[in-house]
Amino acid sequence: MIISILIFIITLLVLVLIHEFGHFLVAKRFGIKILEFGFGIPPRIWGKKIGETVYSFNWLPLGGFVRLLGEDEVDMVTTGTKGLHNKDFRAKSVWQRITVVVAGVLMNLVLAWILFYVVIAAQNFRIIYPVLEPGVYIAQVQKDFPAQKVGIKPGEKLVSIDDKKVKDIEDARKLIRSQDNKSITLKLADSGGNNLRTVNITPKKVENGDVLIGVVFSPIPFKHYSSLSEKIFSGVSYSWDLTKLTFAGLSKLVSQLVYGDFGQVSKSVSGPVGLAVITNEILSSGGLAIVLLPYLWFVGVISLTLAIFNVLPIPALDGGRLLFLVIEVISGKRIKENVERLVHQIGFAVLLALALLVTYSDIRKLF
């Protein structure tokens, strides 16, 4: 467990540093002075100034930060950029500032694309396709069995058998076996539950007396990438699918909060402690050859999640800063910097409180 926690901490540190490195690179490109590039969260253990930047190591090893000249100053000039140092973040054009802010998000996004592509390609362009609610999906179709003959395909969802809704895999197996060699009607859909179709099929009785249609069921669907273009862009399209699923999950989460279903919210949300537990479950499931791809997929999911949540218009996150810059583009005027600073401080306090609540919830789940 200790090794798993260390691996998770290193993973999270690397993901956040990659994010901050995006800000660092673009800020350098635009000639903005970088005051500090920190590994971990202060207080500082050690730091060394190289050129105009202090590179520091800090006590809390969960991430990192980049501090730019003029990004969070208290005595900011609120009317224009006259008198500002040309290496000051505030002295740059609004589009350059926007690029600096979104650079970290793009780094996490690109990393997710690469990791997902590696995992998908290594599995012959086939990968699990997470869904909000488990169901009964066709993971594999066996040769020379009735399912193959009637055109059932991997990835489809089994909705009902003889108009009886299928609840889970065991339910599906019981309904099939109960019909012996008689013809049954299956209602199938795509992985999203759309494009319903009906097939008639007669199960096959095998030597041990079992009655089968020749499929392997799964509680989650698998996605196949077959054409050349699908394979080339599989990492990108898979990220897009997960992004849509994330927003669907957020919508459901908001609904649960509105209706006061806090118990369900607690089950749905995980913080660093919960993610560390998942890391341990993955890494303890076998040798390196077995756990490598699942862990790379998991890291890709975390990287994509960091990108998604950082771009949301939440104060204290990149998306919050981006919102103020977009308002500046639309209105042609800068928001008063003391107002923006106050909003980000309040947002940070709220995020910190939420992080503590989620951590408390994760620890309770362990007991």
Q: What is the pLDDT of residues 215-256, one digit of tens each?
A: 888 888 888 898 999 999 999 999 999 999 888 888 888 887
Tokens found for residue 206: 């095998």
Of residues 165 and 277, more confidently modeled: 165
Residue 268 has what pLDDT?
Answer: 64
Residue 265 has what pLDDT?
Answer: 62
Bridging pattern class, strands 197-201 and 204-205 = unpaired
Q: What are phi and psi of 345, to 5 degrees?
A: -65, -45
Q: What are phi and psi of 30, to 5 degrees?
A: -95, 5
* pLDDT at residue 192 tops 80: no
Q: pLDDT grade, residue 83 (50/70/90)?
A: low
* pLDDT at residue 264 tops 90: no
Average confidence score pLDDT of the chain: 86
Query: Which of 23, 158, 184 minimizes the C-alpha distance to 99?
Result: 23
Section 125-154 average pLDDT: 86
Query: What is the CA 83 to chain-centroid distance, rounded?
Result: 43
Residue 77 has what pLDDT?
Answer: 44
CATH 2.30.42.10 fits 137-224, yes or no: yes
Section 62-84 average pLDDT: 65
Q: pLDDT grade, residue 75 (50/70/90)?
A: very low
Tokens found for residue 227: 């054409």
Alpha helices in 202-317 (DSSP H): 228-232, 234-258, 262-268, 272-283, 288-311
* pLDDT at residue 279 tops 60: yes
* pLDDT at residue 84 tops 70: no
Determine the Cα–Cα distance for residues 341 and 348; give it in Å rounded to an integer: 10
- Sign of the alpha-carbon torsion through 223, 229, 235, 240: negative
Determine the Cα–Cα distance for residues 71 and 93; give it in Å rounded to an integer: 13
Question: Which segments of the chain are extended strands (E)?
Answer: 34-50, 53-68, 126-128, 137-141, 157-161, 164-165, 184-189, 197-201, 204-205, 211-212, 215-218, 222-224
Of residues 205 and 311, more confidently modeled: 311
Q: pLDDT grade, residue 79 (50/70/90)?
A: very low
Q: Please name the residue that has the structure tokens 């050129």.
A: 51
Section 194-208 average pLDDT: 87
Residue 72 has what pLDDT?
Answer: 67
Give the other-Cβ count within 10 Å of 118's Cβ.
16
Ranges of each domain in the chain: 2-120+298-366, 137-224
* pLDDT at residue 209 tops 70: yes
